[in-house]
Structure 1
Amino acid sequence: IKYSHGAKVLVGARRKGDSIAIEIYDQGIGIDANHLPHIFEEFYRAHEAGDRDAEGVGLGLAIVARLALLSGFEVTVNSQRNKGTMARISGIPVSARQIASAPVIDGWIAKPLDKFRVILIEDDQDVLDATRTLLGLWGCDVQSYAEMPIHVRPADVIVADFDLGDGQLGTDAIRTIRSQHGEAIPAILMTGHSGPQIEQHIDRLDVQILSKPVQPATLRSVLSSIRSRSRG
């Protein structure tokens, strides 16, 4: 996705006998043939003069290759410069175990955080959309904002990014919302900063801090814990 610059990316799976291969195709800038033998080396970056700068230090594919080796999978990459890339993880065994579906009660599918009211504040629109969708799948009633909200409806928890852009901070948003509703609504602060960098802004704010990138399982666990405490 990073090197496709808005072009389509296709992710699919192919069954081959008793194994599955996951394949990813893009229509991005591609990788020149002379780089392909080296792309799994640590700190190697297949960069050509004139290419756009992209984040990264050249460790991603090396980590993928190591994990695949430990798991008994095979990773291959085929690419053509200016045409696109195909990456494949193969040798994944097919599981015979059936995955249990979510329990259905009178036509209603159980959701772990059904009707849990969440105020979500995140200035990155892509992250905002993805997190709102995730919370919705868990059954949450979400109010989402890409900037400091002016007025919000009552809620059970606030989930805010620390940096909201234009000099605004998630800690300020939490204080403002709490003052509007006259209560210390439980809050989660998501940040990529280290402890000392945000401690001066917290000032006994009583928030749960989650370090970015926040794993969905971690977020759901913290939300479930907050819900359990509030019910208690």
Structure 2
Amino acid sequence: MKIFQALFTIYSLLIFTALLLLLGIFIVVPLLFSDQAGKISFFFIRLWARTWSLLSGFRFEIHGRDHIDVKQPYIYIFNHRSFFDAPIIPIAIPQQVRALGKKELSKIPFFGWVVGKLAIWVDRDNPESRKESIPKLIEILNKGISIVVAPEGTRNDTEGLLLPFRKGAFRLSMETEIPIMPFAIIGADTIHKRGSLFLSPGKVKIYFSKPIHPDDHHSIDDLAEKCRNRLEIMLSNNLK
């Protein structure tokens, strides 16, 4: 079984790399002209992610996308259990987005350069680095572009539904009056488990909720608790 998994992983990563080399320039170049040209970049990102997924046997079932107003920026939050969450984001979200990314990923040749045009690199163990990311995220939101944040701060490798939330996303929402859009990802950790080098074909389900507006809450803690409860309910109801 391990041999088949190893061969499949090599096959899938070769496709991933070939598509990145083929489409990477089409992802980066539009962003050199303007942020709004990122819509073109995201066409090619989705083409990359969908083609890789199709050829690798990764399948997706998306629910609740009608809750998204494509003309409205959001702060998307999600439960983070796998590396495979990354390609799910452009497939599931019908908007161009920017995301926080682990600084270590910026060191991967070519991949780090491409993704760096769409991500803000953060050293998640460094509070100063996280603090410096806030003005950059506000600037992106003010341009009408959505952002994606994993409020757990790292991948969840426990039996619990969610790790404790960091408050940055909710502080941003309160400061900018941009609504939070929770979405639940179920099954990504069956495709790539934390601590494993191997990938496996499989199916991922994604559920979007109605947006949560910051002006309906009295404090950052209140907003964070409401979002956490919403995400926990989404996960509990759909893991059955």
* Higher RCO (Cα < 8 Å, 6 or more apart): 2
TM-score by length of 2: 0.28
TM-score by length of 1: 0.29
Indicate the structure with greater strand content.
Answer: 1
Larger radius of gyration: 1
